[in-house]
């Protein structure tokens, strides 16, 4: 297996056929992601960064080009590419435990016994510190907690790639920072490949090994790719004055607000 091209998008083009005609959202998108790498996709709203994520997830079939994951063509959605949705998407009629169990039940239907499934659900809830609320329903817990459960559900699928679509976008700044720190700990522990869509520059630099910067749409494409050469574990406090951190932050800001400024809102 080609570990340098664990996830690979080659010449991806995405055209949506709407009532007002064809709309090309993405053109010539090329991204390679190594196994175990944390990659952020950043860009202005409407640049198609979520579309890229949905192509990797298999929820959208690309109009042109090749999308590969672990040397296999991405033909549709599946649990090996688990998604953490922006609005958590927990089923409101199931408890926290049942939401994670739904995923575990369908992914490990034949490979785990009932007791093993139960252990695995509890292990993942503990990982995101939500074991205390296992029997609450989504409407009884806070937004941050819902997103934790969303992450637990995705991790419980034991995915090859964890896909996150602006996972912390709807949270307040303090909760967001807290969850970012915990996500870093979890990623260090299970060493998974992560692709995250974000519009938050600090979040991208803090979490990523590589930042993919997208130009504005229509026909958006990859503008620059920035490697973040910061040691792990990272601490947001220590990095605040770090030269490499500031250099990366500056590079992303320059890309977004100088080279590819968006004026229409």
CB 156 within 8 A of CB 80: no
Asked if residue 59 binds another protein (CB under 8 A), the reply is: yes
CB 213 within 8 A of CB 253: no
CB closer to another protein out of 74 and 204: 74
CB closer to another protein out of 15 and 87: 87
Asked if residue 53 binds another protein (CB under 8 A), the reply is: no
Among 28, 63, 65, 102, binds another protein (CB under 8 A): 102
CB closer to another protein out of 59 and 68: 59
Among 2, 61, 93, 246, binds another protein (CB under 8 A): 93
How many residues are recorded in the chain?
265
Asked if residue 207 binds another protein (CB under 8 A), the reply is: no
Asked if residue 110 binds another protein (CB under 8 A), the reply is: no
CB closer to another protein out of 141 and 230: 141
d(CA 84, CA 20): 31
Asked if residue 67 binds another protein (CB under 8 A), the reply is: no
Among 36, 46, 65, 77, binds another protein (CB under 8 A): 77
Among 20, 139, 231, 232, binds another protein (CB under 8 A): 139
Q: Which of residues 144-163 bind another protein (CB under 8 A)?
A: 157
Asked if residue 234 binds another protein (CB under 8 A), the reply is: no
Among 66, 91, 190, 240, binds another protein (CB under 8 A): 91
Among 137, 178, 199, 262, binds another protein (CB under 8 A): 137
Asked if residue 138 binds another protein (CB under 8 A), the reply is: yes
Q: Which residues contact 107 (CB under 8 A, 6 or more apart)?
A: 79, 156, 157, 158
Q: Which stretch binds another protein (CB under 8 A): 44-52, 56-64, 199-207, 257-265?
A: 56-64
Reading the block at residue 49, the tokens are: 């960064």
Asked if residue 21 binds another protein (CB under 8 A), the reply is: no
d(CA 237, CA 142): 26
CA 104 from centre of chain: 20
Q: State in angstroms the smallest separation of the CB of 219 from another protein.
A: 25
Q: Which stretch binds another protein (CB under 8 A): 18-26, 80-88, 171-179, 234-242?
A: 80-88
Query: Which parts of this chain interact with another protein (CB under 8 A)?
Result: 57-59, 76-79, 81-83, 85, 87, 89, 91-93, 102-103, 106-107, 137-139, 157
């Amino acid at each position: 297996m080609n570990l340098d091209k664990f996830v690979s998008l080659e010449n991806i083009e995405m055209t949506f056929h709407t009532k007002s005609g064809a709309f090309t959202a993405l053109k010539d998108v090329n991204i390679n992601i190594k196994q175990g790498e944390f990659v952020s996709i950043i860009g202005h709203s409407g640049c198609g960064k979520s579309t890229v994520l949905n192509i990797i997830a298999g929820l959208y079939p690309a109009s042109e080009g090749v999308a590969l994951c672990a040397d296999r063509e991405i033909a549709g959605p599946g649990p090996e590419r688990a998604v953490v949705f922006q609005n958590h998407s927990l089923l409101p009629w199931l408890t926290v435990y049942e939401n994670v169990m739904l995923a575990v039940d369908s992914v490990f239907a034949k490979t785990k016994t009932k007791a093993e499934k139960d252990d695995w659900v509890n292990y993942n809830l503990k990982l995101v510190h939500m074991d205390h609320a296992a029997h609450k329903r989504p409407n009884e817990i806070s937004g941050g907690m819902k997103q934790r459960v969303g992450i637990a559900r995705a991790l419980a699928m034991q995915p090859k790639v964890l896909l996150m679509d602006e996972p912390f976008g709807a949270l307040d700044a303090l909760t967001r920072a807290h969850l970012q720190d915990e996500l870093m700990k979890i990623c260090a522990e299970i060493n998974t490949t992560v692709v995250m869509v974000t519009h938050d520059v600090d979040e991208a630099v803090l979490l990523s090994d590589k930042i993919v910067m997208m130009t504005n749409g229509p026909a958006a494409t990859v503008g620059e790719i920035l490697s973040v050469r910061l040691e792990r574990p990272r601490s947001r406090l220590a990095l605040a004055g770090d030269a490499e951190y500031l250099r990366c932050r500056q590079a992303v800001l320059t890309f977004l607000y100088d080279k590819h400024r968006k004026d229409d809102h």
